[in-house]
């Protein structure tokens, strides 16, 4: 389920674009017919998932190193480390994942990724007519941590289930909102075309 969470971030918009969000209407403006394309798919597909993942990967997270290293990693963005075994420290998520893959640390899950907090987020999403506020890069971070740090997540199956439920509710809201917007757009376009036809413009 969550193994594709990063791709699922935009899948709702992509589906809408493919299924219902392409609207073509000829509108007479100053006697010239203009073809207009309204495509959520065309707009969203320009977003680079790699860039989104990169930004999410720079988010700081707590790790507990299992090894010590007095030499910091020197980067343009700043130093990472040094590390002392058993002493928590903050590193970018991409660093935490590299350390985890080498069995050099345990990753401390963000507070909002604990099951009780996810339940609150899910309840907020259910109660809110719009999209409830989520932590920055929510789905990307969830995807990376579920993929690479499963053993550091308490009750991981329940956590994955709640993440999916949050996604599903937002997916449904986006679909409903897009369909309502497009229906209104079509009605407005039809009314404008009819008015232009009556006036001969």
pLDDT tens digits, 97-118:
999 999 999 999 999 999 999 9
Q: Identify the three-state secondary structure at position 105.
A: strand
As a whole number, the mean pLDDT across the chain is 79
The residues, ordered by sequence, that sit 6+ positions from 34 with a Cβ below 8 Å of its Cβ are 26, 27, 28
The full 3-state SS of 38-96, as one line of letters, equals: ECHHHHHCCCCHHHHHHHHHCCEEEEEECCCECCCEEECCEEECCECCCCCEEEEHHHH
70/180: higher pLDDT: 70
Q: How far is CA 15 from CA 5, 18, 78, 174, in A?
A: 15, 5, 40, 11
The answer to whether the beta carbons of residues 145 and 111 sit under 8 Å apart is no
Q: Can you give the pLDDT at residue 55?
A: 85
Structural domains of the chain, ranges and CATH numbers in brackets:
2-193 (1.20.58.1020)
Place of tokens 């971070």: 141
Q: How far apart are CA 174 and CA 178, in angstroms?
A: 6
- Indicate whether 38 pLDDT > 80: no
- Indicate whether 11 pLDDT > 60: no
Query: Of 173, 176, 146, 175, whose CA–CA distance to 161 is shortest?
Result: 146
Q: Can you give the pLDDT at residue 46?
A: 55
Q: Can you give the pLDDT at residue 120?
A: 97
37: tokens are 């394309």
| Main-chain dihedrals φ then ψ at residue 154, nearest 5 degrees | -75, 130
pTM: 0.68
Q: How far apart are CA 56 and CA 105, in angstroms?
A: 20
15/45: higher pLDDT: 45
Rounded mean pLDDT, 30-50: 50
């Amino acid at each position: 389920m969550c193994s594709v969470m990063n791709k699922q971030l935009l899948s709702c918009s992509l589906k809408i674009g493919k299924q219902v969000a392409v609207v073509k209407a000829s509108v007479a403006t100053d006697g010239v017919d203009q073809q207009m394309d309204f495509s959520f798919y065309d707009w969203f597909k320009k977003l680079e998932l790699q860039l989104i993942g990169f930004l999410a990967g720079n988010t700081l997270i707590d790790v507990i190193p299992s090894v010590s290293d007095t030499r910091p990693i020197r980067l343009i963005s700043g130093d990472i480390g040094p590390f002392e075994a058993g002493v928590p420290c903050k590193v970018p998520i991409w660093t935490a994942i590299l350390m985890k893959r080498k069995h050099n640390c345990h990753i401390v899950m963000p507070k909002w990724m604990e099951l009780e907090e996810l339940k609150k987020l899910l309840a907020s999403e259910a109660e809110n007519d719009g999209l409830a506020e989520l932590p920055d890069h929510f789905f990307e971070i969830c995807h990376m941590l579920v993929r690479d740090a499963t053993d550091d997540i308490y009750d991981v199956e329940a956590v994955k289930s709640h993440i999916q439920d949050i996604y599903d509710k937002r997916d449904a809201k986006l679909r409903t909102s897009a369909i309502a917007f497009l229906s209104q757009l079509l009605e407005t376009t039809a009314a404008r075309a009819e008015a232009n036809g009556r006036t001969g413009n």
